[in-house]
Structure 1
Amino acid sequence: MGRSSGLASPAGAVADTARADVTTAHRAPDPFDEAADEVVGRVRDTLEEVFAAVAETGTDTATLLARVAGPGRAPVAADLAALRPGLRSRLADHPLVSGVGFVAAPGLLTDVPGWLEWWQRGPDGAVRPLLLDLDPEHSAYSDYTHWDWYTLPRETGHRAAAGPYVDYLCSDEYSLTLSAPVELGGRFVGVAAADVYLRHFEAAVLPVLQRLPAPARLVNARGRVAASTDPGHLAGSLTKGPDFAAVLAGPPAEHRVDGLRLRPCGDTPLVLVTTDA
């Protein structure tokens, strides 16, 4: 009933707490964090535009294959022609996308060993189909099953960013390929994918990378550098060290490993890497 507890708070403690609150409230933002957040946002927005085309292609393909399989018939290459209007539309709707399509897993189609239903924009702006020799008996056979854009989605079940690399299959340009697995009844049947010319990706992300106070690079799950302001780690090179795949598989929080700051770029399969100043 109003009885004192007998415990008195030191007057100085109250003042110290108030000062701490004021200091916290007026603490200047970390310039690195602000710049890194801008990089992550730009990378996320840039790649998600391309992944939207990949997702649309994957949905169309899964729907088509399910419809073909409905009467119990196995799909053939000609069935995939139904994807073409959507692929051409995606090239028109997504300026960053230079090529887009579905890449069938070997054995999916009964009349051919493999198949790319792939359309791309040429240097003149015209949209054309990609024509490859996919007969393993021929010397010009193009085996796509060892490329990261195919193996990563197949092995992980998740979407992937592969490259940059010289795209000998499609454009002979330095490119990034973004891809995602396509499944039918829980079975892997191929990948939906889209190409982005490296020069277009760099034009989108290098301006914000250059605002960071330290050299920086963007790397994929394999450690391949997708864009860089670090002269020691050029685009296309491999970065050794941390397990970038594990960083991408974990929560989207910053990691500090061996003097490096690793920040996943949202839900995209790229990591921002800088030195830990």
Structure 2
Amino acid sequence: MGSDHRLAHSAAAVLDELTVADVAARVRDALEGVFDAVCRTGADTEAVLTSAGMDGRRPVSADLAALRPGLHARLTRYELVSGVGFVAAPGVLGDVPAWLEWWQITTDGAVRPLLLDLDPEHSAYYDYTHWDWFTLPRDTGQRAIAGPYVDYLCSDEYSLTLSAPVTVAGRFMGVAAADVYLRHFEAGVMPLLQCLPGPARLVNARGRVAASNDPHHLVGSLTKGPDFAAVLAGPASGAEHDGLQLRPCDGVPLILVTAAPPATL
């Protein structure tokens, strides 16, 4: 049975009348395993980069080969993870201008590396530094969820990317990240959204819709409204805006957007 079917079955088993807080907590539960894979990748990367510094030298791309056993294991251990790795900030490594130590799992279960042209002197150069999964952790120091977007580089699948900053001695070194196919994520969370009494959607810090049961706010569209990043940084109970209730998902950087409850007299 595929992971999307397992998640849908698990969610369907608890679909009694859930509150907004219940749904936000279950969305968190669905993604904390992925962030665990990201956290472990970040910790391994920090250790590799720190070890190079203790040897009195700058790290090089070959040092990151030490990450591969852990990356390969995470691709088979975490059922939502379709790709995982470390993406270096420009100038961190001594032998190359940029680097992705990135591995992904294919539909037949094989694990393979992602190979890109990262030489800025070449016409096929791939500049990853403008993508939300890189800029949000770099600029905020917090973990992030980017997308959904069509991942033309890795899988041609509609995907989310979960990422977190990697730092050594206070210096930003890059991001640890993991990809999740959107269809697998939706299988786990759509039954939860559908059990709420009205339209509901999940949006990220940019206001991009990651899942929705509302035909007026389709997946991938942008939600206009308040500063969603500020909502994520605010109280755990969330906020109200223009007739909407905005509830952060208990530490995971997504916001559950529903109609605000009616005012009580």
Shared fold per TM-score greater than 0.5? yes
1:264 to 248, 260, 263: 248
Distance across 1 between alignment mates of 2:73 and 2:180:
16
2:85 to 101, 123, 128: 101
Over the aligned positions, Cα root-mean-square deviation in angstroms equals: 1.3
Which residue of the partner structure matches residue 6 of structure 1?
A: none
2:163 to 175, 179, 182: 179
1:169 positional shift: 2.4
Richer in strand (by share): 2
Which residue of the partner structure matches residue 136 of structure 2?
A: 152
Distance across 2 between alignment mates of 1:265 and 1:252:
8
Superposition pairs of residues 89-238 of structure 1, within 5 angstroms: 89-238=73-222
AA of the residue aligned to 1:73: R
AA of the residue aligned to 1:129: P
Structure showing greater radius of gyration is 1
Residue 41 (str. 1) matches residue 45 (str. 2)? no
1:233 positional shift: 0.7
User: What SS does the aligned partner of 2:65 have?
Assistant: helix
Which residue of the partner structure matches residue 71 of structure 2?
A: 87
User: What SS does the aligned partner of 1:230 have?
Assistant: coil
User: What SS does the aligned partner of 1:208 have?
Assistant: helix
* Cα deviations by residue, 1:29-53 (Å, 9 ceiling, x for unpaired): xxx9933123112210111010000
Query: What runs of 5+ residues in structure 1 fail to find an aligned partner?
Result: 1-31
Percent identity over paired residues: 72
1:133 positional shift: 0.8
Distance across 1 between alignment mates of 2:259 and 2:17:
13
Distance across 2 between alignment mates of 1:254 and 1:157:
21
1:70 positional shift: 0.3
Distance across 2 between alignment mates of 1:249 and 1:115:
31
Distance across 1 between alignment mates of 2:137 and 2:95:
24
Which residue of the partner structure matches residue 53 of structure 1?
A: 37
Distance across 1 between alignment mates of 2:95 and 2:23:
46
Distance across 2 between alignment mates of 1:201 and 1:192:
20
AA of the residue aligned to 2:260: D
Structure 1 segments, 4+ long, off by >4 Å, are none
Whether the aligned pair in 1 keeps the contact of 2:129 and 2:135 (CA below 8 Å) is yes
Query: What runs of 5+ residues in structure 2 fail to find an aligned partner?
Result: 1-15
Whether the aligned pair in 2 keeps the contact of 1:35 and 1:208 (CA below 8 Å) is no
